[in-house]
Amino acid sequence: MYSKKIIALFLFLCFTVVGQQKITIDEIYNGTFRAQGMDELQSMKNTNQYTVLNLDSQSRSVQIDLYDFATLKKTATLIDTKSHKDLSNGIDSYTFDASEKMILLACNTNKIFRHSFTADYYLYDIANKQLKKLFDFQVQEPTFSPDGKKIAYAKENNLYVYDLASNKSTPITTDGQKNSIINGITDWVYEEEFAFVKAFDWSADSKKVAYIRFDESQVPEFSMSMFGKELYPMVQTFKYPKAGEKNALVSLHIYDVNSNEVKNINLGNYDDFYIARMKWTNDANTLSAQVLNRHQNNLDLLFIDGNSGAAKVVLNEKDKAYIDVTDNLTFLKDNSFIWTSEKDGFNHIYLYDKNGKLKNQVTKGKWEVTNYYGLDQKTNTVFYQSVENGSINRDVYRIGLDGKNKVRLSQNTGTNAATFSPNFQYYINTFSSASQPTTYTLNEAKAGKQVQVIENNESLAVKLKGYNLPAKEFFVLKTEKGNELNAWIMKPKDFDPTKKYPVFMFQYSGPGSQQVVNGWGSSNEYWFMMLTQQGYIVACVDGRGTGFKGADFKKVTQKQLGKYEVEDQIDAAKVIGNYSFVDKSRIGIFGWSYGGFMASNCIMKGNDVFKMAIAVAPVTNWRFYDSVYTERYMQTPQENASGYDDNSPINHVGKLKGKFLLIHGSGDDNVHVQNSMQMMEALIQANKQFDSQIYPDKAHGISGGKTRIQLYTKMTNFIKENL
C-alpha cells in the first residue's frame, strides 16, 4: 500500500509534467488549438434576429440556425443538410433575399484567386421547405434583385439575369472572353488590390443592373507551370499588369431589364483610371461610382443618372501621397450619405448632403475610425469601431450624428468588434486580447452592458493552461533616431534575466498594416510560443509605414518602399540587442510576402545586426509586382526608377553575410516565383551561399495537406541550426 506522501509526490510530478507540456508543429497546424466561433454570422434586416452556420457534430450535418437577439434562444433551424441529399457536401455560404423568405446556398465551392470562386447554387424557400438547384453549371456572385423576383449572376466572363418565375436566363452581355473581356466580375488586380469581385449592382427598383466591363486584351500575360501529377505540366495563363504596364480598360454600363438594352456611361474626361467602387443610391435612378486616377491621389465620387447616363462629381478628394478607397459609403433616406476619409490626417466619419456638401464631421481626434457599423436613423446615432483607446486596441462606440454624446460601449481592453441587431438595441460583441481567446457576448447598445456570454472558448483556455505559455508584453520601442514604435516581446516562461537569449524578430511592415495588436493571434502565435519553449525570445515591431497612427506615420514611406521600414527594423534590433538579457550576436528576422521583402533587405542592409533571416514568398523588386498596389506607393518605374531599385534586395546581395533561407510556392499567382528565382540568380552570381525551398504548385499562402507542417518544421530547424 502506497503512503499518502508517495501519492502526493506522484500527483505533483504528474502535474509538473502536464504543466511543462510542449507545443508541437503538428498540433499547431492540425487544429488542436482552433477556437470556437460563430460561422457566417449574419444579422437579419427585417426582424431582430441573427443566423449562424452550425455543424452538428453527431450527424455531421450543417444547419442555418435562427436566433433571437434579445434572448439568444434558437427560434428555428431554417435548413438542415441532413434533410436534403443534394447538400451532402455541406453549405459553404448563404445569402437572403430582401424579404428574408428565400436563401441562396453556395455549395461545392471552387476557389479561383484570393476572393473569387465558382460554386453550385441552390435556392431554398423557407416557408415551404423546397430546395432547387438553380443551374447545371457553377456560377459566380449570384445576387437577388431587391424585389426577389430575379437573380443576376456571372458565368465565364458574361452577366445574366435569371427569372425565378419562368426559370429562364437572359444574357446581359455576350462578348465575355477569357483573358480578354470580363463583364461584371473584376480582373485579377482589382480583386487583389481593391478587394472586391462582384462588379455589378441592382437598382433599388429592380429595373436596372449597373456593371463594370474590363477590357484586358492589351494587358500583358503571366504564365505559370502547374506540375500536378500528369506527364506534362499544365500552363496557367492570366492577365497580370505589373508596375508601369498596361491596365485593363474599364467602362461603366447600365442594363435595363425590361427593354433588354445597355446604356454606355460617359464618366467624363478621365485618362487611365480605376472604378474602385460602384453602387446604387437609395434613389433608384442614381448610381454612384468612386473613380481614381492611376496615381490614386485623386478620387471623384460620381453620381450618374440611371436614365440619361449623365455623370457629375459630387465629392473630390486629393492627397499628396494616395487615397484609400472607402467601403463605408452609406446612403440615408434622403440620399445624404456617410463617408469616411483621412483628409484631416486621421480616418474619420463625415456626413454629406445629397449634393456632396459637407454637413458635419462626425468624429474627430488624433485617432482612427477602423469600422463603421451603421446609423440608427430613429435616434440619429452612429455606431463605429476605433483605436481611440490606443492604436493596438479596438473599441466599439456610439456617437450622435451631430458629433456629440460619444459613449464607449466595449468594456474590455483588447480587440472588440460588433454585429448589431436591425433596431440597434443589441449587438454581439466579439472580443479577444493577447491573453484571452475570442469571446462572443450579447450586449445592449445604449451603454454596452453585457447581457449574456454566447461563447467564451473556455475549453481552449483550459487546454492552453497545460502548456504553461508565455505572455505577450506590449511596449513602445524608441529608436536612437527618436522614432516611437509599437512592439511586443515574448520571453521563455522560465526566463532568467541573468542569461543571454537569442532573439527571433517577426514583422510584415507593409503600408497601413499592423502586427502589434492586442488580439488573439493566428497559428503563427503558437509557433512563436513554441520557439520560446525552446529558448528563444520572439519580438515584433511595427515600424514607420504601418497603420492606425495617422496618415503622416503611414505615408512617410511614399515613393521609397523598403527604406524607412528597413531602417526601423535594424534600429529596433539594435535597441533590443542592447537589453541585458539579449545576445546581440544572435538576432534573426522572418517575414512573409511584404515581410519577406523586408527580411531579405534586413539581412543584407543590416548584415552587422542580423545573423539569419527567413523570407517567405517575398517581393524582391517592385518592378515584378502588380500595378495597383505598387504604383499607389511608388508611382511607376518610369517615373521613379531609383525608388524601385535602391531598396530592391536583389541589388544588395553582395552584402549578405548571415544565413538566409528563401521560400516560395511555384503556383503563387500573387507574388510570382519569378521574384525568388531572380533573387537566387543574383545570389548565385554574387557567389553567396544560401538555402532555399520551392513548394510545387502552392499559392501565396503555401498550404494544403501536410505542407504547413513541413514548412514550419523546415523553418524551425533552420532557426535552431543558425540562431
Percent of the chain with pLDDT over 70: 97
Mean pLDDT of the 700-705 span: 96
pLDDT 10s digits, 469-513: 999 999 999 999 999 999 999 999 999 999 999 999 999 999 999
pLDDT 10s digits, 619-664: 999 999 999 999 999 999 999 999 999 999 999 999 999 999 999 9
3-state secondary structure at position 311: strand
Does position 6 have pLDDT exceeding 70, yes or no? no
Catalytic residue among 593, 600, 627, 666: 593
Here the cell at position 80 is 438542415
pLDDT 10s digits, 304-362: 999 999 999 999 999 999 999 989 999 999 999 999 999 999 999 999 999 999 999 99
- Residues, the chain: 723
For the beta carbon of residue 705, count every other beta carbon within 10 angstroms.
8
3-state secondary structure at position 43: strand
Closest CA to 205 of 282, 135, 261, 279: 282
pLDDT at 11: 38
86 in active site: no
Percent of the chain with pLDDT over 90: 94
Name the β-bridge partners of 235.
225
Lowest model confidence (mean pLDDT) among 11-20, 43-52, 167-176, 321-330:
11-20
From start to end of 537-643, where are the E strands?
537-542, 582-592, 612-616
pLDDT 10s digits, 250-309: 999 999 999 999 999 999 999 999 999 999 999 989 999 999 999 999 999 999 999 999
User: What angle in degrees, to the nearest 10, is found between the helix axes of 707-722 and 523-533?
Assistant: 30
668 in active site: yes
Mean pLDDT of the 49-76 span: 90
Does position 208 have pLDDT exceeding 70, yes or no? yes
pLDDT at 58: 74
pLDDT at 302: 97
Does position 454 have pLDDT exceeding 50, yes or no? yes
Q: Residue 56 — very low, low, confident or very high, per pLDDT cuts 50/70/90?
A: confident
Mean pLDDT of the 137-149 span: 98
Here the cell at position 595 is 515581410
d(CA 135, CA 142): 11
Does position 671 have pLDDT exceeding 70, yes or no? yes
pLDDT at 204: 96
Mean pLDDT of the 90-106 span: 96
The more confidently predicted of residues 17 and 587 is 587
700 in active site: yes
Please write down the HEC assignment for all residues of 541-570: EECCCCCCCCHHHHHCCCCCCCCHHHHHHH
Q: What share of the chain is helix, strand, coil (3-state, %, to 5)?
A: 20, 35, 45
Rg (CA), the chain: 27
pLDDT at 259: 97
Mean pLDDT of the 168-197 span: 98
If you write DSSP's letter for every residue of 171-206 in order, what string do you get?
ES----BTTTEEESB--HHHHHHT---B-EEE-TTS
Does position 5 have pLDDT exceeding 60, yes or no? no
Mean pLDDT of the 232-259 span: 97
pLDDT at 55: 87
Element (H, E) at 489: strand 484-490
pLDDT 10s digits, 543-602: 999 999 999 999 999 999 999 999 999 999 999 999 999 999 999 999 999 999 999 999
Catalytic residue among 668, 669, 672, 697: 668
pLDDT at 20: 66
d(CA 670, CA 238): 11
Mean of per-residue pLDDT scores for the chain: 95
- pTM here? 0.94
Tell me the helices (H) and strands (E) count for the chain, helix number first. 12, 43
Here the cell at position 661 is 533561407
